[in-house]
Amino acid sequence: MSSRSVVLDAIRAAGTISRVGLIRATGFTAPTISTLVRKLINEDLVVETGHAKSTGGKRRVLLQLNHASRYAVGVHLDHGVITYALTNLGGTVVARISRPGAGAQEPAVVVARIATEIAALIDGVGVERDRILGVGLVFPGPVNATRGMGGPPDVGLAPAMRQWNGFPLGAALEQVTALPVALDNDATAAASGEHWTGGFGTATSAAALYMGTGIGAGLVVNGSTYRGPSGNVGELGHVCVSADGPRCWCGARGCVEALAGPAAVVAAARSEPATARAVGFTPGVRRPSVVADFAAISRAARRGEPHALALLERSARHVGVAARTLANLMDLEVLVLTGPSLATAGSVYLPIVRHELRACFARGTHTVDVRLSRSAATASAIGAAALVLESELVPPGHGPRPPEQVPGRRVRLTESAG
Amino acid sequence: MDDTWRTSAVGLVLARPPRLLGTEPFFMEFIAGIEERLAAHGRSVLLHVVAHHDAEIAAYRRWARQRLVDAVVLVNPSVDDARPAVLRDLRLPVVVAGEPTGDNPAVRRDDAGSMRAALAHLVGLGHRRVARISGPDALLHTRTRTAALLTAAAESAVDAVVVAGDYSAESGARLTTGLLDGPDPPTAIIYDNDLMAVAGLHAVTELGHRVPRDVSLIAWDDSSLCRLASPALTTMSLDVHSFGESVGESVLRLVTGESVPQRWCATETVVVRGTTGPPR
């Protein structure tokens, strides 16, 4: 298992690589590489893809992952919307659909619906069942010991997801889909997906700041996603930015999510008649989710509505302060802004968060690179699919290396045939 | 609630070369607009990304056989387009985003009027040598924009050249460098999307030129990328989200059997930011 996945990971991270390049990248002997590569080609996971540029002597055959050989399904389960992404072996999105959220429905009913929607997605792409490696399912909360959603024991999950407390989500979905299911927190998954697709570059300390319905963060340290002992890592939404601030649903005071999260911004917009009119909120008529309402505010700000823009800028300053705390604790080099709410409002938040991080403690040594994710709207579902790919492609005990970081890539570029 | 979306999804296939990884900001915003209209009726957009039109047609055949979608949004209508005839044979209802094909209902953009507005802005600043880095030449709206640019340039006695890119950042950078290194470099460049314009801006800076002092740039498809560039890019302001909403509205009428009027997006206007100014 492990030598096979070491070779697969080296091929994936390099993009294209020769057998000689693999020997240098992995340290395995030539006969071992030859055998493993033959097996991977027989399994259809790797294909030969032409020759390296000749520098005299025998031209080398290049290998690459066969992206269309296997697929993974990522599911982001949330109150307002369930987003599905089907990716190929390389992590590229091949199909995507958003369906109505879990709402107040019974977990078992929602799980049955997820299974039929996954089946329809697979049919729609025309992939045979045996090419699907598994399902990654992510949600706004930590994974608990019974492979369900957890949260602080006295309050449990965020109000919208309370009926999921104690439901054995992983086992239930495995039973109805007959596919292996991997679970994770949605913000953590967004960070994993960012790492998998190269969004963090070669940083040793990187984070994804996730904004959907709430606020969270995922951490990638030394190339590995950090999950902590209980999956309660990166609860950025519950960083205190005002000791005397309002009470948060989690029970504490002054959490940035309570003061400045999407739900707080939407509530503020609804409570000011001029802003509500400018945004297009009609009293009594609600969009399906906080995220959709927040997107309407973002679009109003983009049109130049001053009230909408002021609300977002105020929120961004609070989020920036929380992000500075995260940067100071983690000595962050890269912070990627992601999630559906930052897909629409990212151009307002990015300059403000960037400005706030200029004041981080490490500024004498390095800056913090703040960027927008290239796939902010679907980040968690893509990250969920990446969970499945990781379990297939990455050696146990290693973190996945981002593209262009491993020696194989350099070997290929400078390789001589001599 | 239905058990699956088999009776409530609208299909959208995006055919793009594999090296254009993912989907550009334009399509995610466009799909969000369609979804905004459909979600209120429990309907969704099934996005499928494929490498070329043959795979796109195979997807339509599969969806028709499985009855997986009840309508299709056809994007990027192109020259000698085989897709409309296939969709008609499959009896899949179609809304075209762009110039109409056959008698399918369409949501049109005023590409000619928008291109004239872009050129008028540059001419007003005093530019007389203008280049455009376009999208793929096989797309109908690329040709419409090209014809509008060349006609308007001739009327204003402006030299205009068009080079075809493929919407990728790589082509934007490469073609920008080629134009500026060539004889008679343009004093202004118009780009057909945001990714090529942002890459073009970087390429100009790397060549040691200043924007807009040495060369003015106009991007298309206003997105976060344009607003966050430094300097922020002057862009043509298509409201991509409301383009998507109009398509969603047409789809809803189509699937409920109502008559579907042809819709037009508002003509785009120039949002002046930091990348356009008078030529030196």
Tell me the domain boundaries of chain A.
2-68+401-414, 70-192+380-393, 200-373
pLDDT at position A401: 63
State which amino acid sits at residue A142: P
Judged by CB atoms closer than 8 Å, whether chains meet at A288 and B18 is answered as no
Judged by CB atoms closer than 8 Å, whether chains meet at B6 and A125 is answered as no
Q: Give the model confidence (pLDDT) of B221-242 as tens digits.
A: 888 889 889 999 999 988 888 9
- In eight-state DSSP terms, residue A378 is G
Query: Number of CB pairs < 8 Å for A and B?
Result: 87
Q: CB of A288 within 8 Å of any CB in chain B?
A: yes
Within 8 A of A100 by CB-CB distance, chain B residues are 1, 39, 42
Residues B62-79: what's their mean pLDDT? 94
Task: Please name the CATH architecture into which domain A2-68+401-414 falls.
Answer: Orthogonal Bundle (1.10)
Per DSSP bridges, beta strands A215-221 and A205-211 are antiparallel
Within 8 A of B3 by CB-CB distance, chain A residues are 112-113, 116
Residues A347-358: what's their mean pLDDT? 96
- Report the residue from A116, A375, A378 with minimal CB separation from B4: A116
Judged by CB atoms closer than 8 Å, whether chains meet at A292 and B1 is answered as no
Q: CB of A206 within 8 Å of any CB in chain B?
A: no
Query: What percent of chain A stands above pLDDT 70?
Result: 92
Task: Give the angle A404-A408-A411 at the CA atoms, nearest 5°.
Answer: 105
HSE of B169, CA atoms in CB hemisphere, 13 A: 15
The overall average pLDDT reported for chain B is 92
Q: Give the model confidence (pLDDT) of A282-313 as tens digits.
A: 877 767 789 989 999 999 998 889 999 999 99
Q: CB of A41 within 8 Å of any CB in chain B?
A: no
Per DSSP bridges, beta strands A93-100 and B44-50 are antiparallel
CA separation for the pair B46, B5 (Å, rounded): 9
Read out DSSP for A77-93? E-SSEEEEEEEETTS-E
Q: CB of A346 within 8 Å of any CB in chain B?
A: yes
The overall average pLDDT reported for chain A is 88
Q: Give the model confidence (pLDDT) of B41-63 as tens digits.
A: 889 999 999 988 899 999 999 99
Is residue B80's pLDDT more than 60? yes
Position A74 confidence tier, pLDDT thresholds 50, 70, 90: very high
What is the pTM (predicted TM-score) of this model?
0.90
CA separation for the pair A256, A277 (Å, rounded): 26
3-state secondary structure of A40: helix
Is residue B270's pLDDT more than 60? yes
The residue among B36 and B95 whose pLDDT is bigger is B95
Residues B60-69: what's their mean pLDDT? 94
Which domains, from first to last, does chain B contain?
Answer: 9-108+239-264 (3.40.50.2300), 111-238 (3.40.50.2300)
pLDDT at position B5: 56
A70-192+380-393 folds as Nucleotidyltransferase; domain 5 (3.30.420)
Same fold, A2-68+401-414 and A200-373: no
ipTM for the assembly: 0.90
CA separation for the pair B215, A214 (Å, rounded): 43
Query: Would you tell me how many other CB atoms lie within 10 Å of the CB of residue A276?
Result: 18
Is residue A405's pLDDT more than 60? no
Q: CB of B213 within 8 Å of any CB in chain A?
A: no
Question: Bridge-partner residues for A181, per DSSP?
Answer: A135
Radius of gyration, alpha carbons of chain B: 20
Within 8 A of A350 by CB-CB distance, chain B residues are 224, 228
Within 8 A of A286 by CB-CB distance, chain B residues are none
Residues A37-43: what's their mean pLDDT? 94
Is residue A394's pLDDT more than 90? no
Q: Phi first, then psi: give them for residue A414, nearest 5 degrees.
A: -110, 5
CA separation for the pair A390, A300 (Å, rounded): 39
Is residue A413's pLDDT more than 50? no
Task: Return the CATH superfamily for domain A200-373.
Answer: ATPase, nucleotide binding domain (3.30.420.40)
pLDDT at position A412: 32
- Report helix angle A30-42 to A19-26, nearest 10: 120
Position B254 confidence tier, pLDDT thresholds 50, 70, 90: very high
pLDDT at position B6: 55
Position B1 confidence tier, pLDDT thresholds 50, 70, 90: very low
